[in-house]
Amino acid sequence: MQLLSQFLKHQKTDEQLVELIDTLMVACKEIALQLREGALAGILGTTDNTNVQGETQKKLDVISNDVLKKLLLDNPLVAGLASEEEDDPVPGNPDGRFLVTFDPLDGSSNIDINVSVGTIFSVLELTPGDDPALHSTYLQSGRRQVAAGYVLYGPSAVLAMTTGKGVNFFTLAHTGDFILTRENVKIPPQTREFAINMSNQRYWEPAMQNYIGDLLLGSDGPRGKNYNMRWIASMVAEVHRVLTRGGIFSYPWDAREPAKPGKLRLMYEGNPMSFLIEQADGIASTCRAPILDVQPGEIHERVSIALGSREEVEALLSYHSADK
């Protein structure tokens, strides 16, 4: 059995990055413990606050955000952080090296029904001379990430992470150690499983409606095979399924808020997940371009997402190119 720290050392990971990842994992272990307590600790349910996204904050959203903020800002390597739950970036050590963006508890609408949620993180480097108190400092494309991953709080707590040398899974043991449980994860290029919120079907652009319509035709349709559908309403769980056994996950643009490219956020959902997907030989696209190529204009900007098995995402993209 190999510990996370041993594995990262074996991969010759930058020592300061290893130290940052260790801080992130201390925070995620604390979050996992709080989640396990759930109702017993009186921490389910919502607060009276809404976040910058206009969403009502769950108590555990705030708790998770506070745990990550405190631990990261105590680490002198952290120059600043940006969180889904924070309107503005939070500066750390002005001589720090890393910027961390995160969604402290993605899928939190699932907490009260005891369904999997997760912490998503993305690590960038401070450009020398930039001010970590300014939004502009964080507006780096996903290609600039030096590490990204998530901890999925499910039946077990599993870390999926990349530092640009492939994707690996680590399971949280009762000892408090993350143990390597799957190395060099690769997404099967083909799939029979798709994940999308079908209740939005009438709002999608025609290319997406045509593609999903053809999936539903199964072996009688142009895709020539029958598909199965999943929707957990927790992106971390959906992406973990895609990394584990293939599939396509999409939250595309829809006409409910036409001025916005999609529901999910680029900096701390789209980019970290896309880094993982590409490192596992999948595709992560806005349906027009690779998500990692998007130049962010604001920290909380949203992005249309279609990611997963290479050949299936390529099929979806062919519907969009035909639709131009």
Give the residue with the Cβ less far from ligand P6P, 163 or 304: 304
Give the residue with the Cβ less far from ligand P6P, 294 or 303: 303
Mark residues 151-190: x for contact with ligand P6P by CB under 6 A, - for none. ----------------------------------------
Per-position DSSP letters for 153-167, written without gaps between them: ESSSEEEEEESSS-E
Mark residues 1-40: x for contact with ligand P6P by CB under 6 A, - for none. ----------------------------------------
Q: Does 234 bind ligand P6P (CB under 6 A)?
A: yes
Per-position DSSP letters for 50-100, written without gaps between them: E-TTSPEEEHHHHHHHHHHHHHHHTSTTEEEEEETT-SS-EE--TT--EEE
Per-position DSSP letters for 249-292, written without gaps between them: EEE---TTSTTSS-SSBIIIIIHHHHHHHHHTT-EEE-SSSBGG
Segment lying near ligand P6P (by CB under 6 A), choices 9-17, 27-35, 146-154, 228-236: 228-236
CA-CA distances (angstroms) from residue 318 to 10, 309, 311, 312, 313? 41, 14, 10, 10, 9
Q: Does 84 bind ligand P6P (CB under 6 A)?
A: no
Give the nearest residue (CB) to ligand P6P: 235
105: annotated binding-site residue? Answer: yes
Distance (Å, rounded) from C-alpha 154 to C-alpha 179?
Answer: 16
Q: Does 56 bind ligand P6P (CB under 6 A)?
A: no
Q: Does 85 bind ligand P6P (CB under 6 A)?
A: no
Q: Does 107 bind ligand P6P (CB under 6 A)?
A: yes
Q: Does 115 bind ligand P6P (CB under 6 A)?
A: no
Mark residues 259-298: x for contact with ligand P6P by CB under 6 A, - for none. ----xx----------------------------------
SS3 144: helix
Distance (Å, rounded) from C-alpha 245 to C-alpha 237?
Answer: 12
To 5 degrees, how large is the angle CA 178–CA 182–CA 183? 105
Q: Which residue has the tokens 């272990």?
A: 29
Segment lying near ligand P6P (by CB under 6 A), choices 5-13, 158-166, 171-179, 234-242: 234-242
Segment lying near ligand P6P (by CB under 6 A), choices 69-77, 203-211, 229-237, 308-316: 229-237
Q: Which amino acid is at 163?
A: T
Judged by CB under 6 A, the number of residues near ligand P6P is: 11
Check if the beta carbon of residue 132 is closer than 8 Å to that of residue 89: yes
User: For 16, what's the count of Cα atoms within 13 Å in the CB-facing half-sphere?
Assistant: 13
Distance, CA of 197 to chain centre:
17
Q: Does 49 bind ligand P6P (CB under 6 A)?
A: no
Give the residue, chosen from 82, 235, 273, 294, that forms a contact with ligand P6P under the rule CB under 6 A: 235
Give the residue with the Cβ less far from ligand P6P, 68 or 235: 235
> Minimum distance between the CB of residue 265 and ligand P6P, rounded to whole angstroms?
8
93: annotated binding-site residue? Answer: no
Q: Does 233 bind ligand P6P (CB under 6 A)?
A: yes
The sign of the torsion formed by the CA atoms of 218, 219, 224, 225 equals positive
Q: Which residues are annotated as a binding site for Mg(2+)?
A: 84, 103, 105-106, 269
Q: Which residues are annotated as a binding site for substrate?
A: 106-109, 197, 263
Interface residues with ligand P6P (CB under 6 A)? 106-107, 109, 197, 233-235, 238, 251, 263-264
